[in-house]
Structure 1
Amino acid sequence: MISRRHRKPQRRVVAGLLCIGAGALALAACSSGGTASSQGGTSGGKGGKVKVALILKEFTNPYWISMEKTAKQEAAKDGIQLQVTAGKADDDTTSQINQIEQAIAAGDKGIIISLNGDAVNNALLKARKAGLIVVAVDTPPIPASVANVTYATDNTAAGVLDGKWAAAKLDGKSADIAMLDDLANQVITVDVDRDHGFLQGMGIPVGDNNVNGKEPKSGKYTGGKGGTYKIACQLPTNGSVTGGQTAMETCLSKDPNINLVYAINEPASQGAAHALKAAGKKGVTVVAIDGGCSNLPFVASGEVGATAGQFPGKMAADGVDAIAQYVKTGKKPTNQSGKDFYNTGTKLYTDSPQPGIPSITTKAAANMCWG
């Protein structure tokens, strides 16, 4: 599957982050009021401490909490002093830029970041020029060359899994679709790749490779047995439970006959499930992407039909190891051959398997989920 990461930069940014600093700056107050935590360690790099900044989007989504936990565990093994920070919401790019600047000033060896979009590019390029290794996790930068390496799910492929499964599940029935995306005023690779992957899996043309919402609003889908479809509603959720619930409530007010819901992530899908349950709606298929352990009960109950599981812990551990190896050997990390990222894998979790769509049950997923 061809990834949608090869795009011209868009002026839309994602995910805010806050305070990052290391060394003497670690105790400095953040002007934007973020939160921070640190993990100490030493390295053989000329006998000094190897300091690395991990910049997450925020600390409320279990996904980022899981990534932080694994990163700290790996840092302890590698003798890395890790400073972890995050913002209050997914659109705080100013704070993220400030924290990149602080990491440079503190003499950090590297930055591991789930970046907010191209607004932070110049700061990251400045970090690279200063000799820091820049590792992107989860969210590939545009262009990919902003980071030395990106560890991420192939988000297009994850969306395709959802779309193919949903098309097969429909069994030729008409699809009345709600698209619950991330942000409305910014463009990020994760948002576009997942959205477009779902549409491709359904067999619906995306319309514009660079942005969401340009697909034909009605027509025929070719996935599964094929059938007719319409996009009844497309709204942002900010990737949150409350955002997903509010968006789903609005979509139902526009079209009470929606029978298929795509959600950018599991918190948004859970919010949608709450709204559907409150409205007394049954038989609505919801798909999502993430793979968190806390979401498995929703999949087991059928409130979320399927989710494409990804592995944030592997992203974080690979990022820490890449910088540790650079300190020891001087070898800079690179992306997978022929790709502009390093694919950390995805698997579809569902208790309603469909012919020809690779998947595992929630029972099996319990052994590999995160959180």
Structure 2
Amino acid sequence: MFKRSKRMVALGAAVIAGSMIFTACSGGSGSGGSGGGDAIKIGVVTKTDSNPFFVKIRESAKAAAESEGAELIALAGAFDGDNEGQVAAIENLVGQGVKGILITPNSSSGILNAIKQARDAGVIVIALDTATDPEDAVDATFATDNKQAGVLQGKWVRAALGDKTPQLAMLDGTPGGTVDTFRHDGFLEGAGITEGSSEIVGQADTNGDQTKAQTAMENLLQRAPGINALYTINEPAAAGGYEAIKSAGLTDQVTIGSIDGSCTGIENVKKGIIGATVLQFPAKMAEQGVQAVVQYAKDGTKPSGFNDTGSQLVTDKPVDGVESKDTTWGAENCWG
């Protein structure tokens, strides 16, 4: 009874969210899909509807749908990690007759049954930003190669330390998250550090939240005041970590790397709050996903496999052996 009740609450929330952010685009100009001149319906389900990264995905999907004469229905989880809300959203979208669903999964495995039911109903499902586990649970994935993004962050941080032995703190995201794992492992590979090495002096989960990251960093610095390198899962975590480092008077001691590429994050690189960040391209994920659904609706061609939408290290402190762009370029290509 409890699980059924929880699903009904989540479904109600998804329906409400959908009515708030539903966008109808060029109603009669779509081709294929629904027949009779009706626009192709495309659903997008993000982890939340407030994070600037997912706002950019939604906005870019809307613009791409408009350019194709398609109709976009956008839903989201109520919070980061709301798998039930995303399951309900998929069921909602299938009921509305969408041709394809673009999703940034909160849980790479918890969403699999709902995705299978959608695909069995003839809906193509494309993962954006976050791959499912296994990857072939969806028709295709359009995302950053998050392990490579982590490698870039790790290479820069290690090179920026020069001859200093790393005393590394790691502000991770959500335990078990696919993106979190790839970025964490990629950073260690790029920095030439193995899991469990004595060079790692502290780790904490932050869920990518600035306030949680600040508290976590304060605690880590109390236990390991010699920290000189900081891995962060994203730029809000980096900003929180910096505040703790600043309060401790250690801004000249700690080298901070991050991943995201938001305009706020790029500005923080320019200010020296973050040493370097790896910029992602959420607009490309959304645009390519929409185009793939439209193509499928028109002629049945399905996308497949992992499609890397790219990443770019941005810093005003370049290091040998790591290709980078400066914050002027970053400001021209950032999002949010």
Q: What TM-score results when the alignment is normalised by the length of structure 1?
A: 0.82
Residues 169-178 or 192-201, more deviating = 169-178
Q: Which amino acid aligns with 2:314?
A: Y
Q: What is the total number of aligned residue pairs between the two structures?
A: 320
The yes-or-no answer on 1:162 pairing with 2:153 is yes
Distance 1:19 1:366 in 2: 41
Between the aligned partners of 1:112 and 1:265, the Cα distance in structure 2 is 22
**Superposed counterparts of 1:69-88, under 5 Å:** 69-88=59-78
Q: 1:349 to 1:19 in 2, by over 3 A?
A: farther
- Could you tell me which of 203, 217, 220 is aligned with 2:197? 217
In 2, Cα distance between equivalents of 1:19 and 1:309? 36
- 2:203 corresponding residue in structure 1: 234
Instruction: Show structure 2 runs of 5+ residues with no match.
Output: 1-7
**1:38 counterpart residue number:** 22
Counterparts of 1:169-248 in structure 2 under 5 Å?
169-184=160-175, 187-205=176-194, 215-218=195-198, 230-248=199-217
Residues 14 and 89 of structure 2 are in contact (CA less than 8 Å); yes or no, is this contact kept in structure 1? Answer: no
* Residue pair 2:267, 2:331 contacting (<8 A) in 1 also: no
Question: Compared with structure 1, are the counterparts of its residues 34 and 44 closer, same or farther at alpha carbon in structure 2 (3 Å cutoff)?
Answer: closer
| Matched letter for residue 96 of structure 2 | A
Q: What corresponds to 1:4 in structure 2? A: none
- The alignment partner of 1:281 has SS state of coil
Give the aligned partner of residue 10 of structure 1: none
Separation in structure 1 between the aligned mates of residue 66 and residue 206 of structure 2, nearest angstrom:
35
Q: What is the DSSP-based 3-state SS (H/G/I as helix, E as strand, rest coil) of the residue aligned with 2:325?
A: coil
1:48-73 deviation per Cα after TM superposition (whole angstroms, max 9, x unaligned): 23221111111332111111111111
Deviations 1:56-95 (A, max 9, x none): 1113321111111111111111122111122232111111
Counterpart for residue 51 of structure 2: 61
- Indicate the residue corresponding to 1:258 in structure 2: 227
Deviations 1:305-358 (A, max 9, x none): 0101110010011111110111112111112xxxxx100011100000001110
SS in 2 for 1:249: helix
2:4 corresponds to? none
Give the aligned residue type for 2:155: K
The answer on 1:318 being equivalent to 2:283 is no
In 1, Cα distance between equivalents of 2:250 and 2:15: 41
Q: Which residue, 98, 120, 123 being the options, matches 1:129?
A: 120
Q: Indicate how the Cα distance of structure 1 residues 19 and 62 shifts in structure 2: closer, same or farther if over 3 A, else same.
A: farther
Rounded Cα–Cα distance in structure 2 between residues aligned with 1:311 and 1:134: 20
Partner residue of 2:3? Answer: none
- Contact kept in structure 2, 1:291 and 1:308, CA below 8 Å: yes
Q: What's the CA shift for 1:363?
A: 0.8
What are the equivalent positions in structure 2 for 1:147-158 lying under 5 Å apart?
147-158=138-149
Could you give the per-residue CA deviations for residues 123-181 of structure 1, whole angstroms, max 9, x where no partner exists? 10111110001010000111011111100111111111111111111112011111111
Task: Kindly indicate whether residue 279 of structure 2 is the aligned counterpart of residue 309 of structure 1.
Answer: yes
Amino acid at match of 1:272: G
Distance 1:192 1:326 in 2: 32
1:323-362 alignment, distance < 5 Å: 323-335=293-305, 341-362=306-327
**1:363 matches 2:328:** yes
Which residue number corresponds to residue 212 of structure 1? none
Structure 1 runs, 4 residues or longer, greater than 3 Å off: 31-36
In structure 2, the residue corresponding to 1:55 is in which secondary structure? strand
Structure 2 vs 1, CA of residues 110 and 31 (structure 1 numbering), >3 Å: closer, same or farther?
closer
The separation in 1 between residues aligned to 2:16 and 2:214, in whole angstroms, is 27
Gaps of 5+ in 1: 1-17, 21-27, 206-214, 219-229, 336-340
State yes or no: 1:286 paired with 2:240: no
**Distance in 1, Cα, partners of 2:52 & 2:136:** 29
1:99 and 2:79 are equivalent in the alignment: no
Residue 270 (1) aligns with residue 246 (2): no
Task: Give the TM-score normalised by structure 2.
Answer: 0.91
**Cα distance per residue 1:275-318 (max 9 Å; x no partner):** 21222222211111111111112101221001011100100111
- Kindly indicate whether the alpha-carbon contact (under 8 Å) linking 1:19 and 1:86 is maintained by their aligned counterparts in 2: no
CA distance, structure 2, for counterparts of residue 103 and residue 32 of structure 1: 9
Which of 89, 108, 115 is 2:105 aligned to?
A: 115
Work out the CA distance in 2 between the residues paired with 1:231 and 1:92: 31
Give the CA deviation at 1:32: 9.4
CA distance 1:77–1:308, change in 2 (3 Å): same
| Contact 2:14/2:88, CA 8 A, preserved across alignment | no
